[in-house]
Structure 1
Amino acid sequence: MMLSANYFPNLPLEFNIANIFLYIFCFLLIIVNIYLALSFNLLKSILLMSLSSLIICICYLLMDAPDVAMTEASLGACLSTAILLKIAKKLQLSFNSAEKLPVYKNILCSLVCILFAVCFMLVCYDLPDFGQLSTPMHQHISKYYINNTTEQIGIPSFVAAILASYRGYDTLGETTVILCAGISVILIFANKKTNQ
């Protein structure tokens, strides 16, 4: 039996090289996350989270989203890994062992994860096809940005215009969150003087 878009309506089933790599990296991502869930070594868990973030970054690149991929690589893979390693060193945590949960807690957590995955798959089934141009977003919102960016904003970059002007408050909120996170990291890692 041949696979067609009727069986998997939301997946890009045109088997070009980018889609084949995307499926390979998604499969690797599943394997890494299962291994991460079963890991009891703190250092291994931190490195597996970093690897998972790098695989997600590659998936974003294969889906033609380099801006999201750069953000994922810088924040997810690099900064998060550095912060987690620094916190583990600062708190003098043991990298070799972790507390093992009782069997019933493992089963309960697994059931919750499986339930969440099933609900997520059911919701994703109603999403429009990947890359489809007839989605509501491409009917009026994208056309509005393309037609009015040069006149209203005066810059040729659609992405910069959307982030800086059309969605300026959203970008301001994200910048405020990043600023608060940076201040928190500085306060956590600041060396306290002995007289304070």
Structure 2
Amino acid sequence: MTFLRKILFTTILFTLMSCDKSDNKTVNYGVFEITVPKKWSKYKIKGIDSYVGGLITNKNDTLIFDLGWYSPDLTKNNEVLVFDKSEYSEFTDKQKKQLEKVKHLIVDDFLNSKYKPQDYLKYEYHLDSIACFQAKFIKPKNKGFGASGIYIDSLKGGGPNSNKTRLSFYGNNLSDSIQNEFFKALKSLKFKKYCK
């Protein structure tokens, strides 16, 4: 009887241990894979000159990646949250309400106004590693107002004038919790073709 109990106990223990209790899943895009919360789903998009795809979060946010020569780096466009009065007057009520929560400036004349652009930049970033690459982790200076994600300048390719394969992966106007989950998922990226 003791022997049967040991077998039964071992079988039950093995069954319990083999159950998948993870709240995450791995999504495979061929060139790379990413580990995301189970409730997120893969999103397919047709790209023109690059490989494009994405994810839909459990809060219905769309996270889009662009893998190719022209993948955008949001920190390069120096977008500022400064608007002249005529431009601001054309904003929808929803846009105006969003702006109430963020640092911005409304001026009489955009060209002749004096202000420090660096005080109103839309994005900030820090460098970190993902797999075998250095990546820019980009987020809006004003939480929830702008895109969050990563940019990797070169998965392959040479100097500044060569054709580089770049990767950007962004989501717009993300809540703190989704942004945190997204950044955690981005750190899990594995590049089968590029990192060996």
- TM-score tier after normalising by the smaller chain length: under 0.3
- Give the TM-score taking structure 2 as reference length: 0.23
Q: Which has the higher strand share?
A: 2
- Give the TM-score taking structure 1 as reference length: 0.23
Q: Which has the higher helix share?
A: 1
